[in-house]
Amino acid sequence: MKTMWAPWRMEYILGDKEKGCVFCLAKDTNTDLTLFIGEQTMVVMNKFPYTNAHLLVCPIRHISRLDQLSVQEMGVLTKTVEQSIEILKKVMNPDGFNVGLNLGKVAGAGVEEHLHFHIVPRWFGDVNALAVFADVRVIPEHIQATYASLKPHFDKMDPKAWE
C-alpha cells in the first residue's frame, strides 16, 4: 500500500470550524482566500478545490435561488463570472472550463443557503486514474501560491464599469 502525505490538511482537521455562511464570513472578514469583493458580487477560492484555481462567485446578498436575484444583480454576477474566467485564462492558461452551480443538496450543493457559481479551470490530462480509482485529487500548486498569482488581477477589476 502506498501512502500519500498531506500535512497541510491538519489545519482543517484540527482547526475551529466556521459557524455561519462561509461566503458571508469571507465577505465580512476578507479572508486569505477572498479575491474580490464588490458592491453586488464576490469571488473566493474554493478551500476544497477540484483543480487548481477553482473559484466560487456569489452575490453579496445571502440568497439561495436564482429567482431571488434582481435583473441587475444577475447581470453583475454573470459579468463577474466572465471577468474571473478572463483572469484565469491570463494567469493559469487552462485548456477549458467547467462553469455552473448546484441548486439544492441533492444536486451537490455544499453550501446550499448561499447561491454561488463554480468556475473550474481544466487542462488536458488533469483527470487521471488516481482520481478515478483512488478517489484522490492531485492539486499541483499550493492554494496560497495560486491566490498570490490571481489576487493582483482581481484587485484591478472595476465592477462600476459593468453597471
Question: Structural domains in the chain?
Answer: 20-158 (3.30.428.10)
Residues 12-43: pLDDT tens digits? 556 666 678 888 888 887 778 999 999 999 99
The reported pLDDT for the residue numbered 34 is 93
d(CA 143, CA 46): 9
Residue partners of 21: CB distance under 8 A and separation at least 6: 62, 111, 113, 114
pTM higher than 0.85, yes or no? Answer: no
Query: Which positions are annotated as active-site residues?
Result: 116
